Structure 1
C-alpha cells in the first residue's frame, strides 16, 4: 500500500471522510486519516507512516517505542533523522499540543500543507498536511488555482522543486524537513546535505561502498514478499539486480523495449538477468506514438512526468500487478548516488584539496567522461575557478520574457556557496531526482523503491572526493569497481544510456495542428507564460523545431493538461 494520508487540524467541524478513507489515529489536536491498509503505527502522541529502518542495524522499524517517542519530541525530530532512515512521514505532538511533521530525507513521500481561514463552512480555520490532492479537496480545501509564477519557475529552472508548489495555497514539505502543522517554517532539526560533506573529503574504498549498497538494498528487499525490478541494463539498475540476486523470496526483472533501436536495451538487460539468475519480462511498446494531449488520470499538486510516457507507465504498472508484486524497484538516482558528473567541478575540488597535479588528472578524467579534450576541460576549469559555477541551470527556451521568474529559494542553496563545487554538485544534483520518484502514476499505486537514494548511502557519498567517482575517465568508476565481480563484462564496459526519442518526435509531427489549437489559446497562453509567436511558427512549420524545441513544446502540452485538470475544465481558464 502506498502512502496516502491527510493530517487535519480544525476549529470548526470537519467534513465527513470521503469514501475509501478512515481515521487512522489522533495526534495531539490533529486527526490522521488515510486509506485502509496504509502502513501506520500510532504510538501515544506520535505516528510513523511508511517504511523505516534503524540506522545502526538496518533492521526494519515497524513502530516507535515510548523511549523513541520521548527522544523525538525532545529533539524536535533530530533523533529520528540520526537514528532512522527510509521512506516515511513522522508525526508527533509536544507537551503543549503543537503538532509537528517530518518528511524523511531524500525519499520521503510527497507531502504538502495548506490552511484555510474564513467565516464559515466546513473545516473553517483549518490546516491540513496531505499527500493526495483529491483527499485535501474532499476535506474542504479548494486548491483549484494554478500559480502562474510558480509554473514559470518550474519551467525556467528545470526539476527544481522548492516549498512553493504550482497550486496557489499549497506548499511542499521538503524531504528531510521538520515543520509545524499549519506553518511554513523550517525547523532547525531539518536535514541538510552539507552536514555530511566532509572537508577534506575522505577517500573511499570500493569494498566499503559495495557493502553499504548491499546492506541498503537488502533492507528494502526484506520489506516486500514479491518484487519487480525495472532493469534497463545500465550500471545503476544492474547493481540493484546484483543485490537482489540473494533474495530468497520471489522477484523478477522487466525491461522496456521500444520499436526503434534507441530504446532497445535487451542485450544488457538479458546479460544482467542471466547473471542474477532472475526471470526477465520484456515489455514491448507499441509503434504508434501516444497522444500528447491526453488528460491526466490523477489529480496532482504538481505536474507529473512526461505525458507521452503515460502508456509505458501504465504498462509497467499492469505488469507489476499481473506478477503480484508488492513493490516496484528501480535504479533511479544511481547517477546521483554514484557521483556521475559532466562538469569540471570535480577538478576544482581536486585543486583545492590535492593540488595542481591532482586537478590536471581530474580534468583529464572529466574530459574523457564527456568525450571532450583536455584543453577544453582546462578552459572550463579556469572559467569556473574565477567566475564560480552557478547553483542551478536556467532554461528560457520558448518562455515569455515578460514573466521571467527569479530562481526560487531552496534551503539547500542558502549555504551551498561555502561547499566546494564538486561536492556541491553532488548534493544539489539530488534535487533533480525528486520529480522522478513520484512523477508517474505507478508510484501512486504501488510502492516505488529507489534504494540507491537511501539516506545512509547518500550521506556516505557526500563525504567521498568528487573526483574519485570518475577516476580513469570512467563515470561511476568507484561503483563499477565495487561490483566488478557481480556484473557482466558487457555492463561494466558500458558507457552509453538508452534513449527514447522515437517515442516523442513522431507524436509531435503527427499532432502539430492539435497542439497549436491546444496551446495557442490555452491556460498557459492566457497566463502570459509562453513565447506564442515562436511556438506558432514551429507548429505551423514556418520555423524548424529542433529536438530541444520539440520536447519543450510537448512539455508545455503536459503542463497545459495538468492546469486544466486543476481548474476542472477542458476549456482554457484565464
Structure 2
C-alpha cells in the first residue's frame, strides 16, 4: 500500500484523459471526478467525500479522541476548520465561495507538491508523478539547490525544481483568477501561549495523548513493522503499540565497526513487551552512490546509506506481511531535545532568577559543561537574537559565490507566527520543522507507508505547550517523555541518554569509494553549475587525507545532491 495521488484542478479534458491513462499504467485509478477536480490515486488510499461543501479529503482522518474522523470531516462547512476537528495524514480539496481550496494537514505522512499547468493546476504526492501524468518538464533551480545545501535544515515553499512548489503542513492554497494564495491555517503559537504549569501535569498529558494517538494509527494497520533501536523514542512507540494491542513486529539494525551496537537495548525492550525482534546487518558495500532515492522528489533530501536500511526493512516486511513501517523518528524533535542554552534564556525572560539558576544546572548536566558557562552564555545570547538562527549555516565545500551570494531563507510560516515567543519555544518549533526533511526519500515507501506517530498533530500540540525547561528537568534530555512512560519501559531504557548513529557506516562508504566520489563531485553537475569549492573537495579526498566523521557526512550529502541533480537533468 502506497500513498500516491495526483489532483488536476480546472484542467482541460485532453490533459485529464492522458493523466488518467498514465495513472492506470502505474497501478492507480481515477477515484473522483468532479467538474473542477480529477483525483487519480492508489486504490487503497482512504478518501472521504464531504457533504456540507463540494470536495474530498484523501488520507487518514482521526478525531481528537483517536476515533475514525471521516464522519466528522464529512460535515465541516469550511475547510480551514478541519485541523480543529480532525488530525491525520490528509490533503483536502474543496470548492468554496473563496475559491478552490487545498489544505495540507499538520502531521504526515502527507506530501503535497504543486505546479501551474498550461491550463489549470496539478497537485501530487511527488514531483516525478506530477511530471509524468501531466506531461510537464521540470528543470533544476541551481540557485535554490545552492541555498538548500547552505541551509540544509530549512524547508521553504520553494523547491529545487523551478516550476514546483510545496504546500507546507498546516497551510492552504486558495486558487482563484489564475493565481494561488497561500494561507497559514495552523500555527504553534496558540499552544506555546498556553503553557502547562506543573511537570507532573505535563507528563500525564503527554502519556495520554501518545497512547491515544498511536492507538489510532495502530487501528489503521494490521501488521506494522517497527524499527526499534532501543532508544527512548522508538521504545515509547513500541510501548504504545503494545498497549494498543497491535500485532507489530520489531526490526533492529546491528552496527559494525565504530558504530554503537544497539541491538541488546532493542532486545531488552522487545522481550519486556513480549514482542519478536529480528536483527539485520546493513552492508555498506551494497550502497549505490550514483542512485538517488529522492529522484522522484523536488529536493535531494535522501541519504545514500538509507538505501541499505530500506532494503533490509522491505525484505523483513515481506517476510511477515507487514502493511506499514513504524518509526520513532521525530522523537528528539517533538520531545524538545535541545543541546543549547535556550531553556535558560526562557527562564531569564520570565525573571525567575532562582529557577534560571536551576535550569542552568540541568542544561550543564545535559551538555556536560559547567553551570556558570551555561549561565554566562545565556545572558550574552539574550542580547543578540537572530531572526534566522534556527537554520544552521553549513558552508563546507561550497563555492564562494554560494556562500556569499545566497540570502538567508525566509522564516517558515510556523516560525513567523511565533516570532515573539521565547527562544526555547522557537528552537522547539524549528526542530519539529527540521525532521520533515527526513520523512521522504525512502525506497520502501513504494511498498508501504512510513508512519512517524510521534509527529501526530495532538502530540505536537501537547509538546509545544510544555515549557522548554521541563524537557531538561533533572539534567535529563526529553525528561517529560521519560516520566510519561516510566511505568511502561525497563528502567535502563528510560535512563539511556546517548544513542547510536550510522556515522561509522558513512565513513566506510566514503573511504572505500573516494575515486567515485571525486569523479562525481569534481566533474559533476554541481561543480559545473558553480555550487562547489572543488579545491577543498580535492584536498579532502586525496588518498592520504583522513576524513573526519563530520566531513564524511557532508561530502556524502553533496554526492546525494549530485545524484539527485543528474536524475532531473537527464
TM-score range, shorter chain: over 0.9
- Which structure 2 residues correspond to residues 140-155 of structure 1 after superposition, within 5 A? 140-155=134-149
Contact 1:42–1:63, Cα closer than 8 Å, also in 2: no
* Alpha-carbon distance in 1 for matches of 2:443, 2:275: 26
Please identify, of 197-206 and 470-479, the stretch whose mean Cα deviation from structure 2 is larger: 197-206
1:236 match = 233
Deviations 1:437-483 (A, max 9, x none): 12312234312111111111111111111101110100111111111
* Alpha-carbon distance in 2 for matches of 1:489, 1:66: 45
Matched length: 552
2:564 match = 562
Contact 2:66–2:212, Cα closer than 8 Å, also in 1: yes
SS at match of 2:259: helix
Distance 1:328 1:83, change over 3 A: same
RMSD of equivalent CA atoms: 2.0
* Alpha-carbon distance in 2 for matches of 1:199, 1:49: 31
1:546 positional shift = 2.4
- Which structure 2 residues correspond to residues 484-499 of structure 1 after superposition, within 5 A? 484-499=486-501
SS at match of 2:302: coil
Contact 2:114–2:121, Cα closer than 8 Å, also in 1: yes
2:224 match = 227
1:274 positional shift = 1.0
1:140 positional shift = 2.9
2:402 match = 403
1:134 positional shift = 3.0
2:105 match = 104
Distance 1:321 1:159, change over 3 A: farther
1:394 paired with 2:393, answer yes
1:279 match = 276
SS at match of 2:38: strand
1:21 paired with 2:28, answer yes
* Alpha-carbon distance in 2 for matches of 1:341, 1:232: 21
* Alpha-carbon distance in 2 for matches of 1:43, 1:102: 14
- Which structure 2 residues correspond to residues 84-483 of structure 1 after superposition, within 5 A? 84-95=86-97, 98-117=99-118, 125-181=119-175, 183-188=179-184, 190-198=185-193, 202-204=197-199, 205=201, 206-260=203-257, 262-286=259-283, 288=285, 290-294=287-291, 296=293, 298-353=295-350, 355-388=352-385, 390-404=389-403, 405-409=406-410, 410-483=412-485
Contact 1:133–1:299, Cα closer than 8 Å, also in 2: yes
Q: TM-score, normalized by length of structure 2?
A: 0.92
* Alpha-carbon distance in 2 for matches of 1:34, 1:65: 20
Q: TM-score, normalized by length of structure 1?
A: 0.92
Contact 1:232–1:256, Cα closer than 8 Å, also in 2: yes
SS at match of 1:273: helix
* Alpha-carbon distance in 2 for matches of 1:184, 1:257: 48
* Alpha-carbon distance in 2 for matches of 1:21, 1:146: 27
Please identify, of 58-67 and 147-156, the stretch whose mean Cα deviation from structure 2 is larger: 58-67
* Alpha-carbon distance in 1 for matches of 2:357, 2:266: 36
Which of 25, 28, 43 in structure 1 is aligned with 2:50?
43
- Unmatched tracts of structure 1, length 5 or more: 118-124, 569-574
* Alpha-carbon distance in 1 for matches of 2:521, 2:126: 27
1:126 positional shift = 2.9
* Alpha-carbon distance in 1 for matches of 2:336, 2:534: 39
1:571 match = none
